[in-house]
Copies of this chain bind each other. A is one copy, B any other.
């Protein structure tokens, strides 16, 4: 690591890896040094340059400081441990891994090799969610009481590997998308749930797998959370998010492009590619993972096109996100801060707890019963506080 920049490699050039590239290239204290993908045809986007490797171990030994792991979920634990053994700090995509045992092995490896491990990107790195958390922890609006979030997407019909629908391999919307809901509500509540009840849906015989979920969670102090996700490409949640999609850009025009191009006779490549690029292109608005409304005693909080809309006792106002780091920059910031000695909120314990949330959804759905979760292990947890610059940003708009 030079004084000026962390040299980062990217392992896996699927959607997760590709989404990170522009943020790596534009971060003031990181540098895109190398990429690695087993598939010869996996390409770097135009305009980006980096050393190129085919095998993970080659990447790990290429002299980089850190690696962003965006391989299929079932490889996360092995690759992360291998990278830390090689002396690298690690960012691993969500979901962190497949099982609690794998998570524990990753935690142990980070300790053994003295390396930092951050799990992300997930939506609680996004400035609007962090600003919402800042508003909650400020106490300005009273206690948090409820969070409600829905997302309706085309997840099930995007171009996918078969294992992406295999629950045992971390596939399906519970592990791939529910982990975002888990991450956001745990971040906003600053805690882990006390109980979870969920029903998981598998609604299209032609595309089997976990395609939807309805979940109800309680958090300490009786905070109630309800979540819904459908990946079946009917109603688009962007109708509830000002037409803005997951990367802060306007949603592509046209109805149900993903399913219609997958099942239709023509336009397959064009429509699928257009939708994928629309998801990857960073926009100027906050990132919307569907709609989420947090209710405190004294205000409801909702993301709007410029930031966090506060529906307070006396008036509405928007806390703008302009000036705050973008979500994937915040992932890199958190790793840099961790290397600098500040324990990351989104460390491996965080990722493990998000996975436990998803596991509880599965267990509840299988058992048709509410799952009571054990309280977190007694080892010291990192308080769920946004970076100080987010707290200061909040205070500057809420005197």
Contacts and interface: CB of A to CB of B under 8 A. Distances in A.
Interface of A: 142, 145-146, 148, 150, 152, 195, 197, 199, 201, 203-204, 212, 214-216, 218, 222, 224-228, 230, 232, 234-236, 240, 255-256, 259-260, 291, 293, 295, 297-300, 302, 311-316, 368-370
Contacts of A199: 146, 218, 222, 224
A178 to B, nearest CB: 14
Q: Is the interface of A mostly helix, strand, loop or mixed?
A: strand
Nearest to A259: B313
Copies of this chain held together in the complex: 2
Nearest to A369: B370
29 contacts: A145-B212, A146-B201, A146-B212, A152-B300, A195-B368, A197-B197, A197-B216, A197-B370, A199-B218, A199-B222, A204-B297, A214-B225, A216-B216, A226-B228, A230-B300, A232-B300, A234-B299, A234-B300, A234-B312, A234-B313, A235-B293, A235-B295, A235-B300, A255-B311, A255-B316, A256-B311, A256-B313, A256-B314, A260-B314
Contact of A240 (B195, B240, B259, B298): B240
Contacts of A218: 199, 368
Contact of A214 (B146, B232, B235, B312): B146
A57 to B, nearest CB: 45
Nearest to A199: B224
Given A214-B216, A226-B226, A256-B313, A297 B203 contact: yes
Given A255-B316, A297-B204, A300-B152, A226 B235 contact: no
Contacts of A234: 295, 298-300, 311-313
B295 A148 contact: no
Q: What 10 A-B pairs come out closest when comparing CB atoms?
A: A216-B216, A235-B300, A199-B224, A214-B224, A234-B300, A234-B311, A235-B311, A370-B370, A226-B226, A203-B297
Given A148-B150, A199-B222, 11 more contacts: A146-B214, A146-B228, A195-B368, A197-B370, A203-B295, A214-B216, A214-B226, A226-B228, A230-B300, A232-B300, A256-B313
Contacts of A314: 256, 260
A171 B204 CA distance: 43
Contacts of A230: 146, 295, 300
